[in-house]
Amino acid sequence: MRKKIVAANWKMNMTQAESARFVESMLLDLGDITDVEVVIVPPFTAIAKVMEALGKAQNIKVGAQNMYWEKRGAFTGEISAALLRDLFVHYVVLGHSERRTLFGETDEIVNRKVRAAHEATLRPIVCVGETLQQRDRGNVEKILSIQLRGSLAGLSPKELQETVIAYEPVSTRAASFKSSRPPAKSRGATAGRATRLAIFL
């Protein structure tokens, strides 16, 4: 059975000092947990400090919250896969609902980032999910299918196996997790040929 992933997105929170203290406490709480893969996703400014605080811990991986698809160049405010690799990051979150809704990221943009991540041997956590309005209209399966097909277009079978899908419906902000889950048929369809579903916090 494939190991489940629990990923914690810190968003725009925690300084370097706060991050280090949090990791120290988390290591004590988690102990030698191995039945799930724990991924923490701090802001860019705290990644190096988090890696330092983790030390030799092997049961916790570090991810980044976003990346740009170009390898280098005049792209002010962006960060490349190569720069993330230099920080020993394993995962990168792409297509998060906040990136889609606040910054206008499309499935095509997400796809370019996903392909660049694979090229740099980063494991993309691709986020998909419907809004409350889309759910109320009964469009869950249609929306998830469009997002998955667009975000994963052109990937090889191996790349699909190395891709993690995080189902994070925007509707959970206005409803409970239970009521915002799609029907079982839809949940199966969303995973497609990707390797694992992530529990995304």
Same domain flag for 87 and 179: yes
| Inside any domain, residue 42 | yes
Same domain flag for 1 and 79: no
- Buried b vs exposed e over 100-120: b needs ≥16 C-beta within 10 Å? beeeebebebbbbbbbbbbeb
In this predicted structure, the answer to whether residue 201 has a pLDDT above a threshold of 90 is: no
> Which active-site residues does the annotation give?
96, 168
In this predicted structure, the answer to whether residue 195 has a pLDDT above a threshold of 60 is: no
Is the CA virtual torsion 154, 158, 160, 162 positive or negative? negative
Give me the amino acid identity at 88: F
Same domain flag for 161 and 81: yes
| Inside any domain, residue 140 | yes
Domain that holds residue 173: 74-186
Please tell me the chain's helix, strand, coil percentages from 3-state DSSP, rounded to the nearest 5.
45, 20, 35
**Is the pLDDT higher at 92 or at 191?**
92
Q: Could you tell me the pTM of the whole model?
A: 0.84
3-61 pLDDT, tens digit each:
889 999 999 999 999 999 999 999 998 888 888 899 999 999 999 999 999 998 888 99
| Inside any domain, residue 109 | yes
Could you tell me the two tokens for 134?
């889309």
pLDDT number for residue 172: 58
142-189 pLDDT, tens digit each:
999 999 999 999 999 999 999 999 998 876 554 444 433 444 443 333
Q: Domain boundary residue among 58, 89, 106?
A: 58
90-144 pLDDT, tens digit each:
999 999 999 999 999 999 999 999 999 999 999 999 999 988 888 888 888 999 9
| Inside any domain, residue 200 | no
Confidence class of residue 1 from pLDDT cuts 50, 70 and 90?
low
